[in-house]
Amino acid sequence: MSIINYASREIQFKIVYYGPALCGKTTNLGYIHERINPENRGDLVSLATAADRTLFFDFLPLNAVVIKGFVTKFQLYTVPGQVIYNATRQLVLRSVDGMVFVTDSQWEKMEENVESFRNLEDNLAKQNLSIDEIPYVLQYNKRDLENIAPVNYLEYVLNNRKRRVQSFEVISSTGQNVFASLNAVSQILLHKFSKQSDAPKTAPAPVAIPVEPPVIQKQSATI
Amino acid sequence: MTMTAPFLSFFKKVMDQALAGRERSIAAPTVAAPLEKPSSERFSKTVTPNAVRTSSPQDPFEMAARSSALGGQMPSASAVASASSAARTISFGATRPAAACPGDLPPAVALALEPMVERVVGLELADILAQIPADYIKPIESIDRTRRILLNASEVESGMASRKPAVSLAAIYQQAPEIFLRSIVPSDQTQVQLPFEKVLEQFASVQVRRDQERHLIVPQVETPFLKVTLEDNARFGTPIQAVDTAGLPPDLPPVRIQQATAEAYAAAEPEADGNGYVQPPIENRSAMPTRIALELSPNGTGGLAPESVPASSGPSVPTSFPSTPAPMRIPFKTTAPADDLSPKHEPWLTAKSLAASATTRVAPERESKTEIKITLALKPILQGLPPPQLGGDLGSVSAEAHIELPFSLIEPQLAAGRITVTPEVFAAGLPAEYRSLFQTGEAADVILPLHEVLKNLPTASLRMREDQEEQERGANFATPFSAKAEEDAKRFNIAGTAVAKPIVTPLAAVEEAQVAVVPGTKPSDRPARNPLQVALETDEKLDDKGVVAHVNKLAGVKACALMFGDGLSLAGSLPADYETDGLCAMAPSLMQRIEKHMVETKLGALRSMTLSCVKGAVTFLMHENLCLVALHASGDLAPEVQEKLARVVHELSRKYTQPT
């Protein structure tokens, strides 16, 4: 659920990059951090091991546009993809607004992709959420490699649900379609927020205002 | 002279009344005290809150003696109802008048008013007179020896185990006080022995009430318990009544199998009605008060008190059912366990395989004919096997060797990202000459290389669901991301749009092609081809390599290549020994130049450019930014081939300039 600060007129969206280990989630954030204007972003916080494996999560705050008088801010997170860090993934998924599911297009990673997607569903279910309720897009990453599955198979495996989401062929190492996928999910979130703010609000219940008795002004004597 | 004394006359009057009353009391039969049963022996207790009950003592023996149907049988309900209803009144609440007759009573009250008749054993006085002490009774000659008395069966039963049934003298006094010389108090503990054989005979003739309803008898369903019961019956030599289906019709109605709830029982009973259930006679039904569910729990548990609580306060009557037919039973299989445990075809996920499994039972031969198999190259699979499963040198495996596996086993696993088959299935599909290479003793499943499966998969099998809804994309808000996305799209020369939904031929079309020609199938039933497929006259999904492969099949074309206007190669099969790379890279720009000059001529637009050389000929076709190079096999290309190539280039150009 997006965090709305009415006092400072800010709204924060949390976007989580989810996917199997070594699929390129941190590379996505690194590219975004590299390309985005420093005025619009904060520092990329990354807790990684010596082997550059994400230990906890990556975090990148981004400022976007002003909609309906609210400054929109995006907080990009990644989760550790390794199976043993499921508790961390559950923690990062809390209050998620949108997701980018990053898949590794290599043939030998297909099973891990499916497992990671199921893990995402399970972790959302533990928060009483369904993946069908949360905006997300699919990234078919590493499309520059040779040993990759065709897109139609990836679509069949990961995007054959009732609601067909947007999917992108991505090469995160070069940045191809990295912003396209981020833009897609951010547009959905902004549109959702815009619709919510446009929704007619119910009229407030009438409140009885006590009527004070008229005060009889005494004519003060002027000296 | 008569003296009038008012007090004396009053005294006489009172004395006369008192004497008259005493005579009446001597002439009238002694009203026996009711049998008091210990509360511990009572089976049921009706609790009616807010009810004031006034009930006169009811002597069951007296009531039964009035009935003509003696001999230990229960008096009819109608007979006892009339006798009992008048004596008992129940009023609910303070203002409710007492009910007068059963017909006016609420059903629950009428049910409570049902006669509470004890089970009795009837004996003639001749059978017991010899056992009564002589000083208690009158001379035997003055007693009607054929007079029957009814004794409480529950009292008599206690001595039956030791073959010495007995009854208290007070009980006999209650039944036949006229044979006694003096009164017997109820607390008298004197016991009178009863003849065992006579009592046993009476017990044997006891029958259950005729209006009894069978309870919880439902058709037999094959369960593990029933199976074990039958096995035990066979082992212990007990009669196997539960499986005696000799008297049943050959075709039994199907049995619904559902959870054992009260509703399920209630729903199951009507099924059995037509198959031998004993129903109470209609006249008895009409005589009985209508029963409604009494929402009062005897124990305060909230549950309903079962109607099968015995009417008697004594132990339950042994049930004998001499005349009722056996309840309906369901025949069950007694096949060997091996048949039941044999592996069955699992339908898994898809509707197609579900339909296939449904037809399996009906026509298994038909299914075996129509089963789709997938052919895979054997060598990559064997190369992926773990060493324990590999039993020889892979060098002997030909690159052309293939294995056929049932597609129904693979299709459900396509979405899992990992496809395996059991060692047995894999061994069965192996060609005979390679079976020695595979060790079936290992329990691990055989992993099929995903790319190998996908390569040989019917494209229709990766069909997307037809009811998919597109995700709402929202408005285009100008964000830093959208600006960067546009920049990247230009930089990478990509559209930056999402992947379009793959167009996949429905599986039905593939089955149609692979299995058999279905009569009556019209060409219009096939899925619509895209223009590129129309140009190349194929239903296959075409990518660049696919286009090249199809172009190579055209008459007069030896090889071809596709490239962009800037010379970037898309795909091609031109032989390397011709070294045409440089020519192909230069040709598009050359054609663009020529085309500019063609405007000045009246020859029309440039369609193609053919370079006729000593060792062969090459034709270049170009449309907008896409160029196709076709190496001639021999001589010139036929006009229709050139026309087809022009259409291919045109459609490819459209594809790349308007990506979806």
| Distance in Å, alpha carbon of B226 to nearest chain A alpha carbon | 41
Which A-chain residues 184-223 have CB contacts (< 8 A) with chain B? 184, 186-188, 190-192, 194
Smallest CA-to-CA distance from A154 within B384, B546, B351, B499 is with B499
Q: Which segment, B283-287, B418-422, B479-483, is predicted with the most confidence on average?
A: B418-422
Half-sphere exposure for B50 (CA within 13 Å, toward CB):
6
Least confident span in A193-202, B342-351, B437-446, B603-612: B342-351
Structural domain including A47 reads: 3-198
What is the three-class DSSP state of B639?
helix
Q: What is the pLDDT of residues B94-120, one digit of tens each?
A: 334 444 444 455 555 555 555 554 567
How confident is the model at residue B100, as a pLDDT? Answer: 42
pLDDT for A118? 93
For A:137-176, CB contacts with B below 8 A are 137, 140, 147, 149-153, 155-157, 159-169, 174-176
Which residues lie closer than 8 Å to A151 by C-beta, 6 or more apart?
Answer: A140, A167, A169, B499, B502
For the domain B531-657, what is the CATH code? 3.30.450.30
A16-43 CB burial, b ≥16 within 10 A, e <16: bbbbbbbbbbbbbbbbbbebbeeebbee
The tens digit of pLDDT for each residue in B90-101 reads 444 333 444 444
User: Can you give the pLDDT at residue A213?
Assistant: 56
Q: Do A167 and B415 touch (CB under 8 A)?
A: no
B467: contact with A, CB 8 A cutoff: yes
Q: What is the pLDDT of residue A85?
A: 86
Average pLDDT over residues B296-320: 42
Q: Tell me which long-range contacts A106-109 makes (C-beta under 8 A, separation of at least 24).
A: A106/A142, A106/A145, A106/A147, A106/A148, A106/A149, A107/A147, A107/A148, A107/A149, A107/B449, A107/B450, A107/B451, A108/A147, A108/B450, A109/A20, A109/A23
Is there a contact between A130 and A53 (Cβ–Cβ < 8 Å)?
no
Question: What single-letter amino acid sits at B479?
Answer: T
Q: Confidence class of residue B24 from pLDDT cuts 50, 70 and 90?
A: low
d(CA B324, CA B613): 105
CB contact under 8 A, B464 and A135: no
Please tell me if residue B499 touches chain A, with a CB cutoff of 8 Å. Answer: yes
Whole-angstrom distance, CA of residue A70 vs CA of residue A194: 10
> How far apart are the C-alpha atoms of B194 and B481, rounded to whole Å?
106
The yes-or-no verdict on residue B33 having pLDDT over 60 is no
Label residue B240 by pLDDT band (50, 70, 90): very low
The C-alpha atoms of residue B458 and residue B456 are separated, in whole angstroms, by 7
3-state secondary structure of B397: coil
Q: What is the mean pLDDT of residues B291-317?
A: 43
Region of residue B474 (phi > 0: left; psi between -120 and 50: alpha; otherwise: beta): left
Interatomic CA distance for residues A26 and A48, integer angstroms: 10
Task: For residue A223, tell me if it sits in a domain.
Answer: no
The verdict on a CB contact (< 8 Å) between B499 and A155 is yes
Give the pLDDT of residue A116.
Answer: 94
Count Cβ–Cβ pairs < 8 Å, chain A vs chain B.
Answer: 158
End-to-end CA distance of chain B: 145
Are the beta carbons of B87 and B77 closer than 8 angstroms? Answer: no
Which residue bears the tokens 């291919």? Answer: B648
Residue, of B326 and B453, whose pLDDT is higher: B453
- The pLDDT of residue B101 is 45
pLDDT over threshold 60, residue B148: yes
CB contact under 8 A, B468 and A165: no
Has residue A142 got a pLDDT over 90? yes
Whether B60 shows a pLDDT value over 60: the answer reads: no
Average pLDDT over chain B, rounded to whole? 65
What's the burial of B203, exposed, middle or buried (CB within 10 Å: 0-12/13-18/19+)? middle
Mean pLDDT is lowest, of A40-54, B73-87, B282-296, B429-443, for: B73-87
The pLDDT of residue A11 is: 84
Average pLDDT over residues B616-642: 85
Q: Does B7 touch chain A (CB under 8 A)?
A: no
Domain annotation covers residue A215: no
Sign of CA dihedral B655, A186, A28, A84: negative
pLDDT at B186 over 70: yes
Q: Compute φ and ψ for A188, nearest 5 degrees.
A: -65, -45
Higher pLDDT among residues A109 and B75, named by residue: A109
pLDDT (0 to 100) of residue B324: 46
Least confident of B151-165, B419-433, B543-557, B609-623: B151-165
Q: How far is B502 from chain A (nearest CA, A)?
A: 6
For residue A44, is it within any domain?
yes
| Predicted model pTM | 0.41
Gap between the Cα atoms of A137 and A135, Å rounded? 7
Residue A153 belongs to domain with CATH number: 3.40.50.300
* Closest residue on chain B to A138 (Cα): B498
Q: What is the DSSP letter of A66?
A: E
- Asked if the model's pLDDT at residue B394 lies above 80, the reply is no
Q: Looking at residues B25-54, what average pLDDT do you find?
A: 50
Every domain range in chain B assigned CATH 3.30.450.30:
531-657
Name which of A156, A159, A174, A196 to mutate to probe chain B: the one with the most chain B Cβ atoms within 10 A of its Cβ: A156
For residue A18, pLDDT over 90 is answered with yes
B498 touches chain A (CB under 8 A): yes
Give residue B340's identity as a one-letter amino acid code: D
Can you tell me the distance from the alpha carbon of B339 to that of B341, in angstroms, rounded to the nearest whole number?
6
- The string of DSSP codes covering B402-427 is EEEEEHHHHGGGGGGT-EEE-HHHHH
User: How many Cα atoms occupy the beta-carbon half-sphere of B51 within 13 Å?
Assistant: 16
Residue B379 has pLDDT above 70, yes or no: yes
Residue B607 has pLDDT above 60, yes or no: yes
Tell whether the model's pLDDT for residue B77 goes beyond 70. Answer: no
Q: How many domains does chain A have?
A: 1
CB–CB contact A179 B468 (8 Å) = no
pLDDT in tens, A56-108: 666 777 676 667 777 888 888 999 888 888 998 999 999 899 999 999 999 88
Average pLDDT, chain A: 81
**What pLDDT, on the 0 to 100 scale, is given for residue A139?**
94
SS3 for B617? strand
